[in-house]
Amino acid sequence: MADRIFITNLTFLAGIGVFEWEKGIQQKLELDVEMLTDIRPAALSQDLQATLDYAAISQRLVAYSQAQHHDLIETLAENLATLLLEEFNIRQLTLTLRKPDAVPAASSVGVTITRPLEVKVDA
């Protein structure tokens, strides 16, 4: 089953950037995430606890992003993907993180990553 729940254009300020002038400021970031999960239990029960809570996920993404400065957008994207896979019932996700004001001639720059849930097997 490959049901998808998505959040598009989550916009927030965070400390991001490798250059010295970026270290003390907050910059605008935009995030899209598409998460694979099974929505059937929620669809049948109409129970929010049986699905992915968009608000809780959005709040967690923003809180993590704002908790500390991140040098690279690549690192932040990877950390956010790992966080979601560890904390929520997600089988796989595709996350796009954009930094709109990074290059004057571009509307935005960023990364898109896809990560599956890696099941750890005890040896």
In a domain, 122, yes or no: no
Q: Which two tokens stand for residue 44?
A: 């049948």
What is the CATH classification number for the domain harbouring 19? 3.30.1130.10
- Total number of domains in the chain: 1
CB atoms within 10 A of CB 22: 15
- Reference 63, options 47, 92, 87, 98; nearest CA is 87
Give the pLDDT confidence score for residue 2 in this predicted structure. Answer: 80
Residue 31, domain member (yes or no) = yes
Q: What is the pLDDT of residue 41?
A: 92
pLDDT averaged over 10-residue windows placed end to end, the chain, 123 residues? 92 96 95 96 92 96 98 98 96 98 94 87 58
User: Which range marks the domain in which residue 110 is found?
Assistant: 3-116
Residue 14 placed within a domain? yes
Q: What is the pLDDT of residue 117?
A: 85
The set of catalytic residues is 99
